[in-house]
Structure 1
Amino acid sequence: MPQPKMVIAEGNGFLGRHLARYFRERGYRVVVLGRGAAPSLDNYVRWDGCSLGSWAAKLEGAYALINLAGRSVDCRYTAANKREIIASRVESTCVLGAAVAACAVPPRVWLNSSTATIYADTTGEQPANTEAMGRIGESFSVEVARAWEAAFAACPAPATRKVVLRTAIVLGRDGGAFPVMARLARWGLGSPQGHGRQWMSWLHIADFCRAVEFLLHAPAAAGAFNLCAPQPLTNRDFMALLCRQLRPWLRLPQPEWLLEIGAFVLRTETELILKSRKVYPQRLLELGFQFEFPACEAALQELLPHS
């Protein structure tokens, strides 16, 4: 039986590396599309993320296409950066849509990234945002998500099942935001960020890979899915769990004015840590997905086992 083929667009980042390794271990032939210099990976193909090229032939006969392409939002939201953030997501999605449309045998499933920050800032005891009942927000991060999902919806792919991944913060020890958060906590910045009442939706990297696999093989899975653990927690509670695991000797306060200064120095935005994200994976649970790490305490214990 031939190996099923999977194409991961921008699969050389944190999430892509984990997915590529996960599916290779399960017998898939993984093709990675990337814009950087070729890493030491088999089946690595260069593309520019905005125009058709020889890379498009790799989609022919693929079982799955996973699009993770998009410029990092960890930057200052200048007009130029905003344009680039949106364009990198819209253009890559549109050109993948053109490549899928040109296939004689198109991918059976196409999973396209989005973000859980599409939902409105959710405070206090307001219910968590589900796919059916979530309140869509109005900030720049929401504008990005709306444009991303609209581009995906506009791609005609009648023979391909299309799934939107509204992914929360993915926690892993070797990439993404978590190593930075843990390092800062070790240095004494383990107190609540701002008032600490903002909600945090999260997902362990192992459950991210497992959820992607689950959605690939669930025939009824189409449309938007929240990829997050079922137990969101406040920033105050998350930082307390982090410090309980790391046991730093110092915990300096982090008022919002200090975070604004730090964000300016580091060329980033405080929205990334101060926006309240309270999201619930209702559709995943209804289809029968079972989380390995439903609670954050167990996730942190696994990620920081030697602390």
Structure 2
Amino acid sequence: MKYDKVVLAGGNGYLGQVLQEYYKPLTRELIVLSRKPAPQTENIKTIVWNARTAGEWTDCLNHADMLINLCGKNVNCRYTPENQTEIISSRVGPTTLLANVIQSLAVPPRLWINVTSATIYRHAEDRPQDEETGEIGYGFSIDVCKKWEDAFFQSATPRTRKVALRMGIVLGKRDGAFPRLLTLARMGAGGKLGNGQQYVSWIHEQDAAKCTEWLLQHESVSGVFNCTSPKPVKNEVLMAAIRKAGGIPFGVPSPAWLLEIGARVIGTETELLLKSRWVLPKRLLDSQFEFSYPEVEHAINDIVWQP
């Protein structure tokens, strides 16, 4: 075992499950903080918390090699006032709570990663956005990201290194965006979405997990990191790669007006599909992080061909 203890706060969602599988063979003890109890599976232990108040769970953070905070209501919903309030509170609240707890611990985690979002950057079709020259956008989803990161960085944790990991769209077989896009393609509607020119900043799920370990190993780095493939693609390229990997000969395009109708029907927002996220992981590249799946075609083939 490389590590003694890794803690995943809110770690029972899709990305949390990816991280559980990644760290299971690497750490002596893997703890998931969850609102719902679950039986212990080998070295994976679930501890119940409410993400609002301190309790007996706080002791599990002592002597942890790393804490990864994944808390937050799914943004795949309509941005009603009620949902907006919950989206913000479900991110800012646990982040503030964890900061207060870490400040009180005798031996706090060596590293705290807050998984935030690459959607903090503006809609970009003219040039890529990175950690140094990227421009923060405007609107509700960007306000969420700003409040989230403010809550993370405004607390002093001198014995715990902190990284805000601005995650792109995670591609994997079991959940997230990819299975839904593949289903759309298999139904014949796998053409470009909108005008197809919007950039998609994506990351293979294994590179997302691998990145967190790299951050743990490189003790001199901290602050903001973009977690996206170094080769983002336009939506029309992504959809073509999905069709090719799935052996699907054609795909009917979905214009923006049709997507808006569909979004209202299924209770989501078209921003998730139509915003151009052209984000580059400059700090990872400058530090020689090696992506296993930098090319979208290779990443999609790997996902589709998984048993």
Please state which band the TM-score falls in when normalised by the shorter chain. over 0.9
What is the identity percentage for the equivalent residue pairs of Structure 1 and Structure 2? 42
Alignment of 1:25-174 (within 5 A): 25-38=25-38, 41=41, 42-123=44-125, 126-174=126-174
Looking at structure 2, the residues matched to 153 and 306 of structure 1 have their Cα atoms a distance apart, in angstroms, of: 38
What residue identity is the alignment partner of 1:80? E
**Worse overlay, 163-172 or 1-10:** 1-10
Structure 1 equivalent of residue 201 of structure 2: 201
Quote the offset at 1:251 in angstroms. 2.1
SS in 2 for 1:7: strand
The C-alpha deviation readout for 1:94-151, integer Å capped at 9, x for no partner, is 011111111001111100111000000001xx22111000010002111110010000
Looking at structure 1, the residues matched to 184 and 240 of structure 2 have their Cα atoms a distance apart, in angstroms, of: 13
Quote the offset at 1:177 in angstroms. 1.3
Question: Is the contact between residue 3 and residue 65 of structure 2 (CA under 8 Å) also seen in structure 1?
Answer: no
Give TM-score scaled by structure 1 length: 0.96
Question: Is the contact between residue 3 and residue 26 of structure 2 (CA under 8 Å) also seen in structure 1?
Answer: no
Looking at structure 2, the residues matched to 149 and 196 of structure 1 have their Cα atoms a distance apart, in angstroms, of: 30
What residue identity is the alignment partner of 1:251? G
Quote the offset at 1:36 in angstroms. 2.5
SS in 2 for 1:30: strand
What residue identity is the alignment partner of 2:264? F
What residue identity is the alignment partner of 1:266? I
Structure 1 equivalent of residue 290 of structure 2: 290
Structure 1 equivalent of residue 242 of structure 2: 242
Looking at structure 2, the residues matched to 20 and 285 of structure 1 have their Cα atoms a distance apart, in angstroms, of: 25
Q: Which runs of 5+ in 2 are unaligned?
A: none
SS in 2 for 1:243: helix
The C-alpha deviation readout for 1:254-279, integer Å capped at 9, x for no partner, is 01111001000000000000000000
Question: Is the contact between residue 187 and residue 250 of structure 1 (CA under 8 Å) also seen in structure 2?
Answer: no
Quote the offset at 1:53 in angstroms. 1.1
Quote the offset at 1:57 in angstroms. 1.0
What residue identity is the alignment partner of 1:273? L
Structure 2 equivalent of residue 256 of structure 1: 256
Name segments (4+ residues, structure 1) moved above 3 Å. Answer: 39-42
Q: Which runs of 5+ in 1 are unaligned?
A: none
Looking at structure 1, the residues matched to 238 and 2 of structure 2 have their Cα atoms a distance apart, in angstroms, of: 45
SS in 1 for 2:122: coil
Structure 2 equivalent of residue 6 of structure 1: 6
SS in 1 for 2:26: coil
Quickly say closer, same or farther: Cα 1:84–1:199, change in 2 above 3 A. same
**Worse overlay, 39-48 or 93-102:** 39-48
Give the count of matched residue pairs: 305
* RMSD, matched Cα: 1.5
What residue identity is the alignment partner of 1:104? A
Looking at structure 1, the residues matched to 19 and 306 of structure 2 have their Cα atoms a distance apart, in angstroms, of: 25
Quote the offset at 1:249 in angstroms. 5.0
What residue identity is the alignment partner of 2:114? N
Looking at structure 1, the residues matched to 253 and 159 of structure 2 have their Cα atoms a distance apart, in angstroms, of: 54
SS in 2 for 1:304: helix
Question: Is the contact between residue 187 and residue 248 of structure 1 (CA under 8 Å) also seen in structure 2?
Answer: no
SS in 1 for 2:114: strand
The C-alpha deviation readout for 1:30-67, integer Å capped at 9, x for no partner, is 11001124255431001111111111111011111110
Looking at structure 2, the residues matched to 137 and 29 of structure 1 have their Cα atoms a distance apart, in angstroms, of: 39
